[in-house]
Amino acid sequence: MRQKLVRLVGGVAIAALALGGATACKSDSGSDGASGDGCGKKIAFFGALTGPASALGINENHGVELAVEQYNKDNADCKVTLVPLDSQGNPDQAPGLAQQAIDDEQIIGIVGPAFSGESEAANPFFAEAGLVHVTASATNPTLADQGWKTFFRVVGNDFTQAPAAAWYIENELKAEKVYVIDDQSAYGAGLGDEIKKVLGAKVVGSDKVQGEGKQNDFSATVTKVKSSGATAIFYGGYYQEAGLIRKQLTAAGVTATLVAADGVNDASYIEGAGAAAAEGSILTCPCMPASETGGTFEEDYKAMHGTDPGTYSDTAFDAANILLAGIKAGNTDRAKLVEFVRGYTGQGVAANHKFTETGDLDPASVRIWAYVVKDGKIVPAREIPKS
Amino acid sequence: MDFNALFSDFGGYTITGLTVGAIYALVALGYTLVYGVLRLINFAHSEVFIAGAFAAIWGWSALGLDRDSVVSGFGSIMLYLLVGALIAAVASAGTATVVEQVAYRPLRKRNAPPLAFLITAIGASIAIAEAFGIYTRRLPVGAPTVVKNDVLFTIFGAEVTAVQLLILGSALGMMVALDLFINRSRIGRGIRAVAQDQNTAALMGINKDRIILVVFIIGGVMAGVAGMLYDVRIGALTYSVGFLLGLKAFTAAVLGGIGNLRGALVGGLLLGLVENYASALFGANWKDLVAFVVLVVLLMFRPTGLLGESLGRARA
């Protein structure tokens, strides 16, 4: 089904690209001259607002909306406009959407792209156009190694999560026998390999499954885990498979604790596994619980959107505030704003921001939290110290 | 290769493989029946299966079972299973009927070329799956625990659980019932007659269109029960799982000899076993590769499948 879908979406994306190209030719001359005083600038949010992976994108866009609203309240005479760019999380659509942002000269900064896949597709365009983009959630480590001068990220990358998960397995669960499963994706296998490196001989076995909804029956893997006698299981992958694996493990009588990273940190994991089987699962995330973010962020967010901040709402809020701080300081063109972000240091709600030369968050600023599933809900357990 | 994992737990891998294979076999019956009668691969059959699987979950939820419910007591377990199977069978048979009436019958009336049937089948498949995808917002839907997976007994060192026994038992039972129905009943004789020669059968007073509809309904009932068993076994359902499962079931039908009911059973169980052994030997990521290499090699030596093609011919 997915393959059929991809073909379908691919066709639509090509059509969209063609259309985007057509409008691009027209709009170049169309930008008005109201930018002389540095007002009327725009920032864009780039991420999934509809489609299968939209929960995270909507969380982030809400965070950005809050930041822009607060800015405009304080700077009523010189407002900034937010442009939401809905990528549906689809790398095929990302280049066209990136071009659309680049063609609008009033857009001088981007929050996003939200996911690693679409980042790989869109970031080269941003780099060429010199348009700064700060992602709040794309955690694939290789994104920082591409030489994109416009890339910044306000969360820790996947390399920071694996040691943290390993620390939790060793020190909190005190597991001596660990079984490692991954879904063969760049994200999942990367995490799994790091875990194996850190835990060494404590890993008693490992298996690879198929991700992207291609596998539903994990009985062979379950049998292997069962006979390995592991007391903890690390899963590198996303929530859909994680939920099924957890449910089938529990049904087969395996009580070992499942530990996974931010790809599983979503209520859909509990929907798949059922609350009883999911109970006690440990999910790490380079994001802080809403109650820890400090200041009035949580109340303000709730007042504006009527819901609690979700995963990555806080980091998106921070990313937007960094861009807005630059605009306020008078960096109202693309070249100046890139340089401003590169040199930026300051305290946000989710982290103390300082960037490395490649645009990654300074490792000293990365904070990883462990969450636990309790009574069918994901609640914060504790912050994981740096080892 | 991890021979140790396979042989230290050979019985366990065999039982779980047979369980997976039993579900393939039930779905494979639908492909094989329709092919036997119409010489048409009904690609929408995977969505007939999905309709039953969703209907069972929603039916249980209408009866007050949510994803965290656990049913206990033999009587109520059986009751919920029967109700779930009934709802699923009705939903699947209904979907199959709609697909037949909307996507195939009008084409048949106009003597459309086989390619047109293939495209409408794929079209129906995508349309139905997408409708479920949009309705469930493409999120997994959790199923209640209707049968707890307790170990019932041990055979050759393998633990057999209640769920496995249920799936194997109901699959075999339904196979036997279907085999008897096709071979003994009056309608069954009609099905075999249409499979042999549609026009001659019509001359003998058989209502061809009604027989074709019956074939779709029987396939739907089997797929619906398979959907309910899938819910019990896997525990959660996503709108997109039909595509791959349908492909596997179709493979099982070809492996056993398409058009041959007993072949579907043999093919399904064999495919489930090969997949599970391959997962144990090489790791779960290798299972599809090994399973399909086995399929290609088998078809090289037996191009018509293990038991050969025959719905009407052999036992007419």
- Contact of B210 with chain A, judged by CB distance below 8 Å, is answered with no
Which residues partner with A153 through β-bridges? A135
| Residues contacting residue B193 through CB under 8 Å, at least 6 positions apart | B200, B201, B204, B206, B312
- Contact of B245 with chain A, judged by CB distance below 8 Å, is answered with yes
pLDDT at site A238: 86
Q: Do B234 and A216 touch (CB under 8 A)?
A: yes
- Contact of B70 with chain A, judged by CB distance below 8 Å, is answered with yes
Instruction: Please tell me the distance in Å from A241's CA to the nearest CA on chain B.
Output: 10
The pTM for the full model equals 0.76
Rounded to whole angstroms, the Cα distance separating A203 from A200 reads 6
Question: Which residues does chain A have within 8 Å of residue B16's beta carbon, measured at their own beta carbons?
Answer: 219-220, 222-223
pLDDT band at A4 (very low <50, low <70, confident <90, very high): low
Pairing of strands B141-142, B236-237: antiparallel
Rounded to whole angstroms, the Cα distance separating B194 from A385 reads 72
Q: Do A214 and B163 touch (CB under 8 A)?
A: no
pLDDT at site A35: 42
B133: nearest CA partner in chain A: A52
- Contact of B129 with chain A, judged by CB distance below 8 Å, is answered with yes
The CATH architecture that domain A159-285+368-384 belongs to is 3-Layer(aba) Sandwich (3.40)
Phi, psi (degrees; rounded to nearest 5) at B39? 55, 45
Percent of chain A with pLDDT over 70: 89
3-state secondary structure of B295: helix
Chain mean position to CA A362? 17
Question: Per-residue pLDDT tens for A269-305?
Answer: 998 899 999 999 999 988 878 777 667 898 999 999 9
Highest mean pLDDT among A193-197, A260-264, B221-225 belongs to B221-225
Selecting from B17, B67, B238 the residue whose C-beta is nearest the C-beta of A274 gives B67
Question: Which residues does chain A have within 8 Å of residue B284's beta carbon, measured at their own beta carbons?
Answer: 207-210, 215, 218, 220-221
pLDDT above 50: residue A379: yes
- ipTM confidence: 0.78
For the domain made up of A2-21+34-157+292-355, give the CATH fold.
Answer: Rossmann fold (3.40.50)
Q: Do A272 and B140 touch (CB under 8 A)?
A: yes
Domain with CATH 3.40.50.2300 in chain A: 2-21+34-157+292-355, 159-285+368-384
B274: nearest CA partner in chain A: A220
Q: What are the CA-CA distances from residue B215 to residues B29, B38, B46, B190, B222 (Å)?
A: 10, 10, 16, 10, 11
| B32 vs A310 pLDDT, higher one | B32
Q: Do A216 and B8 touch (CB under 8 A)?
A: no
Q: Calculate Rg over the CA atoms of chain B.
A: 19
Selecting from A214, A252, A273 the residue whose C-beta is nearest the C-beta of B149 gives A252
Rounded to whole angstroms, the Cα distance separating A64 from A297 reads 12
pLDDT at site B212: 93
Question: Per-residue pLDDT tens for B177-188?
Answer: 999 999 999 999
Question: Which residues does chain B have within 8 Å of residue A227's beta carbon, measured at their own beta carbons?
Answer: 5, 8-9
Q: Which of A49-58, A160-169, A327-336 has the lowest mean pLDDT?
A: A49-58
Q: Do A253 and B234 touch (CB under 8 A)?
A: no
Q: Do A1 and B13 touch (CB under 8 A)?
A: no
Q: Do B140 and A252 touch (CB under 8 A)?
A: no
A278: nearest CA partner in chain B: B68
